[in-house]
Structure 1
């Protein structure tokens, strides 16, 4: 009789071909997106993006179910065929950024979460030794020229930064050359294990550079959106955007690769720091639990009897035609001409 561990291994092996198929389909969709000449806001392009996101999320969910990655292992302990699945957060971040939505800020934050998660995972597995930004530092990660004093650029720092960029560019070109010599994704599977492993590591390093560049772009775009929102809120926008029918979109929630089974049970598929319910759902829950009275959301308005609102305007119209009212108004005007304001409150002063 097979043990529990053996049964689990057999069930995992049964699922692997399905995971491979889903991952390959997601890669094909990703390639089609990059090669597509359709406008990014066109229906075919957005359908392709949605399909790719769905496939990548399915693959992530299956990786978590299979527990392919553990928090106490090194990269050398990961099976060669499993190395490619470490790319899932970066691929999800890249595809999610191409999604058209009424809430662009939400799209940016989702992509940012994916890229940061990918970089953290690569650092944990010693694929990269670069400093990994947090969400807060990524938002302010737009670099400016280094200065050594008031208004004076630090020439040594600028030279060092330039040399670092040149070095990174050369490394990128050398990496691309090696990968091209090895072959494509499909061709590499027919090579021996050592060649496959090197190829996947090069691919992971390549996406580290891309993730860092994407985080810089996201930070810049978020600053622009926040500035535009501030301008709109203060009423300085030159022309209001024409009304468009509201779209009901499913809130975006990142799917991450969990490091172990305990994390999967505690945190689920997404980030615990992101909101899981809408504002309306939160208030409904608070009302059901009696924490917020029903009247707080729907304050009673003043009930006006039918016909009462038009009484004063009607009376004003009647006064305009009444000779007695006209006479009284003229007498009041004459009295005001002879009795200037403040004359009756001089406290016996001359």
Structure 2
């Protein structure tokens, strides 16, 4: 954007210039120089609004003129642009942005422009549960969509009226009713600005929630860094590990043309051990299976020097069970099990066949002989045990 002297410009011109920059920042990326000009313009607007005393704490939205409604958006736009500024100290940026957004919300509350539902939520903010927060976000999102739809409707209605006025002006001159049209335009403009302020309230409340979360995270990170004091040390360790890995790959690439091709390694764990120096490729059949370690430990080579590194190494672990043997070993074990199973089946078949040959097949004559032998045995038993011989002691003369 071109250079302009804001000190010599009027308040509406400065606000319009700042509003254009705010629209650019909302729609797409914006360079920091243009952003700085927008922040400077909005601060100048805020200073002039304060000096003119356009808003009072004992007024309502009906007491504010339509021409001054748009200046209510100055602290909101300023807070949004300050949040996008790039500075070394992010916490200061967040604090300045939150102060402007809170000032905008407090002015809207005094003018009764904040919904009653939102006021109730803010009153019990400390006791918010997840369900209440979800309900608050849903209600705010609905108001946001309703405000956008209303602004679009006002825009389309204004465009249709402008087209009809231009068509009427071409056919007949404007005579009576011009004042009524101006009144309609004034009411429509007021409705549009009130809807824009309602939409800005929703956006400001959402941005305030996000800035609070970011501020809490930055405080936690800062506190942790002050407790550990290992930022530079950790960076040196990471650089050293990176150099070690790069040197290993470079040496391996230099040795590759002069080495004999080796047998492929079928175990991923052993391959990791070879890369990190815990084993040699010649020990392919003698290696011990160790769990694969992802993250910092894989670069350290298993030599964890502190509890912090051990905890970091445990974070980046796969979510599945790692293999305990190679595909080659699993195939050999399955072959061994299959051979044992076949040997056992062959042994059982041999035993069954040999017993069948020994016994021989049964014929009808064998069945008759067995029946006659059973009958002879029954006759012999009856001869040895006559009927009633066991009851002699029970008879009176026995």
Report the TM-score, using the length of structure 1 for normalisation.
Answer: 0.52
- Residue in 2 that maps onto 1:23: 15
- Residue in 1 that maps onto 2:71: 85
- Residue in 1 that maps onto 2:267: none
Inter-CA distance 102–165: structure 2 relative to 1 (3 Å threshold): closer
After TM superposition, give the deviation of residue 35 of structure 1 in Å: 2.9
- Residue in 2 that maps onto 1:122: 108
Structure 1 residue 34 and structure 2 residue 6: aligned? no
**Contact 2:66 2:190 survives alignment (8 Å):** yes
Deviation string for 1:103-128 (max 9, x for gaps)?
11000000111111111111110111
Query: What SS does structure 2 have at the residue aligned with 1:68?
Result: coil
- Residue in 1 that maps onto 2:146: 174
- Residue in 2 that maps onto 1:249: none
1:131 to 106, 119, 131: 119
Bigger radius of gyration among the two: 2
1:73 to 59, 68, 72: 59
Structure 1 residue 213 and structure 2 residue 209: aligned? no
After TM superposition, give the deviation of residue 60 of structure 1 in Å: 0.9
**Contact 2:121 2:136 survives alignment (8 Å):** no
- Residue in 2 that maps onto 1:254: none
- Residue in 1 that maps onto 2:223: 230
Query: What SS does structure 2 have at the residue aligned with 1:216?
Result: helix
Structure 1 unaligned segments of length 5 or more: list them: 1-14, 39-44, 146-157, 243-350
- Residue in 2 that maps onto 1:99: 85
Inter-CA distance 241–214: structure 2 relative to 1 (3 Å threshold): farther
- Residue in 2 that maps onto 1:194: 187
Deviation string for 1:69-113 (max 9, x for gaps)?
122222111110100100111111000000111111000000111
**Contact 2:18 2:41 survives alignment (8 Å):** yes
**Contact 2:225 2:231 survives alignment (8 Å):** no
Deviation string for 1:270-325 (max 9, x for gaps)?
xxxxxxxxxxxxxxxxxxxxxxxxxxxxxxxxxxxxxxxxxxxxxxxxxxxxxxxx
After TM superposition, give the deviation of residue 209 of structure 1 in Å: 1.0
Structure 1 residue 110 and structure 2 residue 103: aligned? no
Inter-CA distance 167–22: structure 2 relative to 1 (3 Å threshold): same
Considering only aligned residues, what root-mean-square deviation do their CA atoms show, in Å? 3.5
After superposition, where does 1:231-270 map in structure 2 within 5 Å?
Answer: 231-239=224-232
Counterpart CA distance in 2 for 1:17 and 1:133 is: 41
- Residue in 1 that maps onto 2:196: 203
| Higher normalized helix content (fraction of residues) | 2
After TM superposition, give the deviation of residue 231 of structure 1 in Å: 1.5
**Contact 1:119 1:132 survives alignment (8 Å):** no
Query: What SS does structure 1 have at the residue aligned with 2:10?
Result: helix
Deviation string for 1:168-188 (max 9, x for gaps)?
33332221111012229x989
Inter-CA distance 162–100: structure 2 relative to 1 (3 Å threshold): closer
Query: What SS does structure 2 have at the residue aligned with 1:183?
Result: helix
Q: Would you say how many aligned residue pairs link Structure 1 and Structure 2?
A: 205
Larger RCO (CA under 8 A, 6+ residues apart): 1
**Contact 1:97 1:108 survives alignment (8 Å):** yes
Query: What SS does structure 1 have at the residue aligned with 2:119?
Result: coil
Counterpart CA distance in 2 for 1:79 and 1:16 is: 25
Counterpart CA distance in 1 for 2:9 and 2:33 is: 26
**Contact 2:82 2:93 survives alignment (8 Å):** yes
**Contact 1:116 1:132 survives alignment (8 Å):** no
